[in-house]
A and B are shown apart, each in its own frame.
Chain A
């Protein structure tokens, strides 16, 4: 599998009055060509900071302490603001969370969507208008030619997110970063937008980094999943490996707190405790204080990555050959059993879209 983006040992600190917040602590991952990589984790785990670092859009108080981000033979962390401006919106594009605030209220959407064309491609005005119309139709805006003259407040939330997607895709970027693109939308619109993204991904052959804390969305969208906790990736694997054979106790907790159709309990499970203070992160495994399966070494030394399969690895001492064998929570045991059956039936690393909805193309 060809890597389009390689992030190595990315460390980002934020200077605050109280000291340096270590938001991202040595994150490494690869993005394969044409795949969707989901980065999941709770708020403050460093997901968004990682993607901001890729686009060179970190806040001014952020310091990149170490790392490389290789894209097309160039280290994006060493790129100047000017060089980044030629990459952003051209080869790498972004969709963000809230469509209600991500469009300029004083500019027509036609102008906003065609902006990346004007910046990066020296395209004639007629051609840019034609292309903008084409892309707006592609994302399902009806009567695109006329609506290009409208302002953002004349569109619904779902339509606006479609416009934001059109804006990101207008130059057919090689990488699309989607930072919780459906969090602010209601569930039916969510499904439409997710389907649209999958559809467009195939049409224009782009790789997607999908940031979310919604595991349901991950199951439907992603090929691979990276789980982040306290500024580190703690487990990475294919979507099936993460959902059916997770190895890190934090991933167990995440999956355990997700309701399934079989959930009978009155209360949903929640991981006890709160994430650590990243001003002064714990010495060993950052999850140890909240972890019922924590070993003594977890409080002393951060675990390295232990490979499980060629595609699956987890940073937990439980995978060390000398570690005691523990029994995961019942839900995880149940899932692992299903996984064993799936493997026994001769299933091999499929892209398993758990939910695919047939939805109309518009949300007028």
Chain B
């Protein structure tokens, strides 16, 4: 198992390196320059700035300098925020984003699994219809629409939660709900299909023949087996949450990394774009690694064949 994880970590590093390379060159293709008041600047001023930020060197040199810095933990200096180091910018802003993402992931997947399981157990009843309807709504309505609706109804009309503020836990509830809708809907839809399949299988029939009640069958046998394919969703859902949080953070004016990312792209803040991309990529590969390890824990067939191969 340890050897397996070690191997996976090496692959992760390779993946991150490739992402860094591709992002770097793609970013260089972005139109425009980092200087917002460029038309008021003289040619020599621009040249001076370029020299200061190392933008006068050939692209391949810039690339090597960047990769060298990144390996040593130096993500460069932000262009837009009074010359703050990017690593500092990220460190101060990642907290709210992580909190929001993890909350949305937990709420979305747990409620989704529950909703999907109920829909499967009560197949073709009103509960199933309601769950399916919710899933379709969750998938087809973009999270920024949810965000605004929640702000209007729960924040503005009912005054239950702050509209756009970031201080205590209650201010994180609305953005979490808005962000969790998509994972919730996806998980519910997937879970329902899997659970129906599992509930029709022979071993569930035999579990009933053993004298297990419906609840016992679901709890002891059906849930775990239905979860195996659902876990695969965690990777794509994590991506979804990251991109979703960029918009949602903006709507609720949360000082998170997503909001930062959007700003840095519009201002061609190269080091910040790179830094935030790398942080997102790191989170994603870690999520994928966790998913693979979880797979092994939930499905003994994978666990054992994995340890045999890597023993």
Contacts and interface: CB of A to CB of B under 8 A. Distances in A.
B210 A101 contact: no
B211 A96 contact: no
Interface stretch (B97-105, B144-152, B198-206, B279-287): B198-206
B301 interface: yes
Interface string B173-201: 00000000000000000000000000001
Contact of A57 (B209, B213, B224, B301): B209
Given A106-B224, A153-B300, A81 B213 contact: yes
B214 interface: yes
A89 B206 CA distance: 9
A86 B211 contact: yes
Given A102-B202, A103-B203, A119-B216, A55 B209 contact: yes
A107 B203 CA distance: 11
Contact of B299 (A81, A85, A102, A106): A106
Which 6 A-B residue pairs are closest in the complex by CB-CB distance? A89-B211, A89-B210, A94-B209, A101-B202, A88-B211, A151-B300
A104 B221 contact: yes
Nearest to B123: A60
B209 A119 contact: no
Interface in A52-71: 55, 57
Contacts of B210: 88-89, 93, 115-116, 119, 167
A67 to B, nearest CB: 20
Contact of A87 (B202, B211, B225): B211
A167 B210 CA distance: 8
Interface of A: 55, 57, 81-82, 85-90, 93-94, 96-98, 101-107, 115-116, 119-120, 151, 153-154, 164, 167-168
Nearest to B224: A106
27 contacts: A55-B209, A57-B209, A85-B213, A86-B211, A87-B211, A88-B208, A88-B211, A89-B211, A93-B210, A101-B203, A104-B203, A105-B203, A105-B225, A106-B224, A106-B225, A106-B298, A106-B300, A107-B224, A115-B210, A116-B210, A116-B211, A119-B210, A119-B211, A120-B211, A151-B301, A151-B304, A153-B304
A89 B217 CA distance: 13
A105 B301 contact: yes
B154 interface: no
A71 B225 CA distance: 34
- Counting contact residues on chain B (CB < 8 A from A), the size range is 20 to 34
Contact of B201 (A81, A87, A101, A154): A101
Contact of B203 (A85, A97, A102, A168): A102
B207 interface: yes
Given A88-B209, A103-B206, 14 more contacts: A82-B213, A86-B211, A88-B210, A89-B210, A89-B212, A96-B205, A101-B203, A105-B299, A106-B298, A106-B299, A115-B220, A119-B210, A119-B211, A119-B216
Q: Which of A98, A103, A107 has the most CB of B within 10 A?
A: A107
A87 B209 CA distance: 9
A106 B221 CA distance: 8
A149 to B, nearest CB: 10
A192 to B, nearest CB: 21
Contacts of A57: 205, 208-209
Contacts of B298: 106
Interface string B223-258: 011001000000000000000000000000000000
Nearest to A55: B209
B206 A85 contact: no
A153 B214 CA distance: 25
A139 to B, nearest CB: 16
Contacts of A96: 202, 205-206, 209
A98 B301 CA distance: 19
Contacts of A104: 203, 207, 221, 225
Nearest to A87: B211
B300 to A, nearest CB: 4
Q: Which of B210, B220, B304 has the most CB of A within 10 A?
A: B210
A102 B301 CA distance: 16
A164 B212 contact: no
B209 A89 contact: yes
B269 to A, nearest CB: 48
A269 B208 CA distance: 40
A81 B212 CA distance: 10
A47 to B, nearest CB: 16
B80 to A, nearest CB: 51
A347 B211 CA distance: 43
Given A106-B224, A106-B299, A90 B211 contact: yes
A88 B210 CA distance: 5
B212 A85 contact: yes
A164 B206 contact: yes
Contacts of B213: 81-82, 85
Contacts of A106: 224-225, 228, 298-300
Nearest to B222: A104
B197 to A, nearest CB: 12
A134 B210 CA distance: 19
A116 B228 CA distance: 25
A101 B211 CA distance: 18
Contacts of B202: 96-98, 101-102
B304 A154 contact: yes
Nearest to A102: B202
Nearest to A84: B211
A350 to B, nearest CB: 33
A231 to B, nearest CB: 21
Contacts of B299: 105-106
A102 B203 CA distance: 4
Interface string B292-311: 00000011110010000000
Nearest to A93: B209
Given A101-B203, A153-B301, A81 B214 contact: yes
Given A105-B300, A105-B301, A85 B211 contact: yes
A30 B290 CA distance: 57
